[in-house]
Structure 1
Amino acid sequence: MKKRVLILVLFAFMASITMRGQLNDYKYIIVPKKFETFKKENQYMTSTMVKYLFTQKGFTPVYDDELPEDLANNRCLGLLASLSDDSSMFSTKVTVILKNCQSVEVYRTQEGKSKIKEFTAAYKDALEKAFVSFDGINYAYSPKKVEEKQTEPQTVIVSYRNDVKKLEEKTETEVVKQEATLENQSYETIEPETSNFTKAVEKTEQPMITSSMLYAQPIENGYQLVDSTPKVVMKLVSTSIENVFLTDYQGNSGVVLQKDGKWFLEYTEDGEKKLKELNIKF
């Protein structure tokens, strides 16, 4: 019995190491704003919650319509997240699946289950349980090494009248520039010069947080914050912790929480954690 338990533990450990190596090959997690299993975009806050949970586990999640330039040019840098939903009338059951650019499944979490009756809270609870599968993986992006192709040297032979002279070996990126005599021969490279041209990235305009007062209006499963315009600045999703809310600020997953009587927004942008103080009136 002890041997069997030890074998299972070793198998789980080796599987964790193997899976970590597979996930480390990918720089991004692509999160759809509308999962195939749902009819509406971000239904039950599933897209927001999945993006937030991946951030908490150390990954770099991005929405499918807000890809960074390197990922837009090479989709194989990221894994596409999807949900397998086997929910019934009495319980919510979801599994998170990651597939590469060739639609090959790379990773599948355990099934997260919840018996909460309210849908948004139920999917949040089930997803949190599914994401336990990422504990201990210690993800860290490690780019794949690209093998450089070796160019075989070629011999350039120049025939001039009846004299044949063998020139020094040159790589295929060099050509002979000839003049009237052999003595004045020279070489120039035909390698392309590195361009400093960069493609402009279009950014969608989103509401910014200012120091002015924000007013909390109750909505399903939380609040929406509006300014004096009034314009909705962000939505807050209630959690099981008092005065702690999930939010999505300018495409970045974040948390709004109260500390020492003040409200703060904490979110991650380009891998850097940021903190903003909010002036909220409930």
Structure 2
Amino acid sequence: MKYFFTLLIIALMSINLNAQSVNDYKYVIVPEEFDFLKSPDQYQVNSLTKFLFNKYGFEAYLKRDEKPFDNLTDPCKILYADVKGRATFIKTTLEVVLKDCNDQVIFKTSEGTSKDKEYKRAYHNALREAFYDIEALQYSYNPAGEVQDSQNPQNSTAVSPDAIEVNKKPTQQPPVIKEEVVDTADSQNETSQPSATTITYTSEDGFYKVMQSGTTITFYDDTKKIGVATIGNPETFDITTTDFSGKAFFLEGRLVIQRKIKGIAGVVEMIFTKQ
């Protein structure tokens, strides 16, 4: 019994150290393809991984993305993400691993699981469950470890908005970023079904839904209700959810939300289209 408690204390200390060390890193690189999948971004697992890292405060990029830190004086201030997975007839299991430039594990999540029989939904559900551990870290980049860009040290904390947009080269346009595009999420478990007078919008990344009934719009993250807003002025109105907040407006039949993300310059433009 004494040996068991000793191991438990060591394990807890190890978890605490990992949680602290993650804050020393600002950027996360997500590979184009994970070993357990058969093609790049199959089932859009890589895109979802990047999205979730950004959601919980990191600055994450797919390997193919243009990056603002190519000239870092210390490239070892970058974390490299990997997802380990296995799928059986009974369940799908995934875990997320973060390694440093020396291939040393900095943090590893517990396993997320799903018993869904449809592959894409199973992988997405298992990955979201694994990311509960990332969320629990309450990650906050430690500015004491700030590494400056060798070409522009005064702006080392700023991220080029155009560099974050996937599959697009940097331009001279104003700092507006569009989030990763992922197929529309399934809605079979939606807690609120649209009526005949309800208009349903889905974000381009497929992770958020909006249901508009009159001047009331309700936001959902997958099946979870995250906020309600009132359309006081259709030209622009404020929205606040548990996941994000910002200014919203309608444009050519689409709902556009411009929101700020911590650590990222400019605004992130979320586009919601009618289903």
Aligned to 2:68: 69
C-alpha separation between the residues in 1 aligned to 2:138 and 2:42? 30
Aligned to 2:173: none
1:134 offset after TM fit, Å? 2.1
1:33 offset after TM fit, Å? 2.5
| Equivalent pair of 2:203/2:273 in contact (CA under 8 Å) | no
Q: Deviations over 1:184-216 (max 9, x none)?
A: xxxxxxxxxx98799xx996349xxxxxxxxxx
Q: Deviations over 1:74-129 (max 9, x none)?
A: 43121111111122122111111111111111111111111101111101110111
Of residues 253, 266, 271 in structure 1, which corresponds to 2:264? 271
Q: Read off the aligned partner of 2:210 and give its amino acid letter.
A: L
C-alpha separation between the residues in 2 aligned to 1:51 and 1:98? 13
Aligned to 1:44: 43
Structure 1 residues 41, 244: closer, same or farther in 2, change over 3 A?
Answer: farther
Structure 1 residues 246, 30: closer, same or farther in 2, change over 3 A?
Answer: farther
Q: Deviations over 1:24-66 (max 9, x none)?
A: 1111111112223222221111012111221222222111122
Aligned to 2:26: 27
Q: Read off the aligned partner of 1:138 and give its amino acid letter.
A: Q
1:264 offset after TM fit, Å? 3.9
| Equivalent pair of 2:19/2:107 in contact (CA under 8 Å) | no
Q: Deviations over 1:5-40 (max 9, x none)?
A: 998997676444312211011111111122232222
Q: Deviations over 1:135-158 (max 9, x none)?
A: 432211124389xxxxxxxxxxxx
Q: Read off the aligned partner of 2:85 and give its amino acid letter.
A: D
Aligned to 2:235: none
SS at match of 1:106: strand
C-alpha separation between the residues in 1 aligned to 2:270 and 2:34? 33
Structure 1 residues 197, 137: closer, same or farther in 2, change over 3 A?
Answer: closer
Aligned to 2:240: none
5+ residue gaps, structure 1, are 147-193, 207-232
Structure 1 residues 14, 238: closer, same or farther in 2, change over 3 A?
Answer: same
1:144 paired with 2:141, answer no
RMSD: 4.2
Q: Read off the aligned partner of 2:39 and give its amino acid letter.
A: K
1:238 offset after TM fit, Å? 1.0
1:55 paired with 2:48, answer no
My pick for the range that moved more, 63-72 or 45-54, is 63-72
C-alpha separation between the residues in 1 aligned to 2:16 and 2:145? 17
Aligned to 1:111: 111
SS at match of 1:123: helix
Q: Read off the aligned partner of 2:185 and give its amino acid letter.
A: S
SS at match of 1:107: strand
Structure whose CA Rg is larger: 1
Aligned to 1:158: none
1:281 offset after TM fit, Å? 4.3
C-alpha separation between the residues in 2 aligned to 1:72 and 1:60? 16
C-alpha separation between the residues in 2 aligned to 1:197 and 1:109? 34
Taking only the aligned residue pairs, the percentage that are identical comes to 24
Structure 1 residues 4, 235: closer, same or farther in 2, change over 3 A?
Answer: same
Q: Read off the aligned partner of 1:257 and give its amino acid letter.
A: V
Higher relative contact order (CA 8 A, sep 6+): 2
Normalising by structure 2, we get a TM-score of 0.58
Aligned to 1:171: none
5+ residue gaps, structure 2, are 155-159, 171-179, 193-199, 218-249
SS at match of 2:110: coil
C-alpha separation between the residues in 2 aligned to 1:89 and 1:275? 39
Aligned to 1:237: 184
1:129 paired with 2:129, answer yes
